[in-house]
Amino acid sequence: MAYVPVNIEESIRRECRRRRYSPRTAKTYLYCINRFLKFTKKELGHISKKDVRLFLEHLSDEGLTGNSMNTYHMAIRFLFIDVLDKKIWIDIKYSKTPEKLPVALSKEEVKALFSSISNSKHRLMIELMYSAGLRVSELINLRVKDLEIDKGYGFVRAGKGNKDRLFILSFFLKDRIKKLITGDNLLGDSLLFKSNRGRSYHIRSLEMIIKNACKKAGIDKRVSCHTLRHSFATHLIENGYDVSAVQSLPGHKSPETTMIYVHMASPSMINIKSPIDTL
């Protein structure tokens, strides 16, 4: 029988830290696992694959989406395989939720969004996030030493999946980034963007900046920080770059993820004509 720790929650947190999972992932896994254990009403050493199946079937009956089901599935696998080192084969299939295309802004809407941000630092943050296809967490954790400004690129350190990756730096933003570094006397290890209190920005602050700018610009879409990342990839496709070239920039694991943006791109921008025009 596998070793069962006295404090299972602390063991889960410790393993998440060891694997460099984000605090948000650790919190999600703890919630999913606690709900699973409450459902089974069994001690860890007596839980079987059948219990896992019954729990996931229960969630399915509640109408959870495919993404939510997958999160619970991965959390339970993490508990048994990574935390308890228990050899339990969990390969349960369920219907996936049909994929929906994410929201993206048009190029005109992106320009209107930028123009609606009066604070120069806030505008630079939003422009950099869009121009490089950065996740909001990657933006607020950027440090001066991560940038090779004159060479036109930078590095995301320990991004999603604890991986490093290169991102492009817009020529349009170079001088303003240099001015920010000089004006704020930022050193190599300093965060590129600091709040008025000298701390890192909170994700919610960036979301509010975008929300207020969209309202001011009259953009009637549900826009978040991640929308700028979708817009970045979509506009690269529209500008004629192929999937293989675009895939590495946002840090996509597979070309299938990037292919979503081919479907989102404007047909006129990628020179696709309707077949009726050739009849």
**Active-site residues: which are they?**
135, 160, 226, 229, 252, 261
| Backbone torsions φ then ψ of 191, nearest 5 degrees | -65, 140
Nearest to 82 by CA among 21, 39, 27, 34: 21
| Backbone torsions φ then ψ of 78, nearest 5 degrees | -60, -45
Q: Look at phi and psi of residue 251 and say left if phi exceeds 0, alpha if psi is from -120 to 50, else beta.
A: left
Determine the 3-state secondary structure of 154 from DSSP.
strand
Nearest to 89 by CA among 52, 55, 56: 52
Alpha helices by DSSP H, the chain: 8-18, 23-40, 49-61, 66-77, 107-115, 120-132, 136-140, 171-183, 203-217, 225-238, 243-247, 255-264
What is the crossing angle of helices 66-77 and 23-40, to 10°?
80
Alpha helices by DSSP H, 152-241: 171-183, 203-217, 225-238
Residues comprising the chain, all counted: 279
